[in-house]
Amino acid sequence: MNLGVYFDRLFSMKPGKSPSSGGGFSLVEHPIPPRTLAAPIHRHSREDEYSYVLEGRLGALLGSEVVYAGPGDLAFKPRDQRHTFWNAGDTESRILEIISPATFEHYFEGFPSDPAERAAHAATYGLEVDMDRVRSLCEEHGLRFPPLVM
């Protein structure tokens, strides 16, 4: 599966995105299939993220710590901290992601299909991505990451 197609399916913009918040935050809903890694390990240099769990069980790697959250819980992913998140359950998980300040939501709109262009695209948004640890993270937590054949 193409990583851009995967992101299109996983990220859906909701009211509250940057224009209606004055640029203070964007709001993204993530419906995550069971036992699926939502993103490779990454680090934002400009944004803080807050994941509010609506349904299911969220797993997250925050720095070197693994945490779990259920419905009504909030996981904080501060800027400059390497992190990722996944559905840690056997049913679909849904989270609302609050990204502050706004504008990072545009990262997904222009995601390049050519892998050679992805590092430059990520750098435009102050993002560092670590694809090298995806396979071991998936094996450790019993996850799949559809863009990679595993």
Q: Over 37-102, what HEC string results?
A: ECCCEEEECCCEEEEEEEECCEEEEECCEEEEECCCCEEEECCCCCEEEEECCCCCEEEEEEEECC
For the chain, give the mean pLDDT. Answer: 85
What does pTM read for this prediction? 0.82
Higher pLDDT, 81 or 114: 81
Residue 148: band (very low, low, confident or very high) from pLDDT cuts 50, 70, 90: low
Q: Distance (Å, rounded) from C-alpha 93 to C-alpha 71?
A: 9
Higher pLDDT, 94 or 147: 94
Task: Tell me the percentage of the chain whose pLDDT exceeds 70.
Answer: 83
Q: Residue with structure tokens 């998980």?
A: 93
91-120 pLDDT, tens digit per residue, is: 999 999 999 998 887 787 778 888 888 889
Q: Distance (Å, rounded) from C-alpha 94 to C-alpha 53?
A: 6
Q: Residue with structure tokens 């036992």?
A: 35
Higher pLDDT, 149 or 65: 65
Q: What Cα–Cα distance (Å) separates residue 83 from each residue in 3, 21, 62, 86, 110? A: 18, 25, 5, 11, 22
User: Domain 3-141 belongs to what topology?
Assistant: Jelly Rolls (2.60.120)
Higher pLDDT, 23 or 144: 144
**E strand or H helix at 124:** helix 118-124
**Nearest residue to 113 (alpha-carbon basis) of 7, 10, 12:** 7
Q: What Cα–Cα distance (Å) separates residue 149 from each residue in 3, 126, 143, 144, 146? A: 12, 28, 12, 9, 7
**Nearest residue to 96 (alpha-carbon basis) of 126, 73, 62:** 73
- Arithmetic mean of pLDDT, 51-57: 97
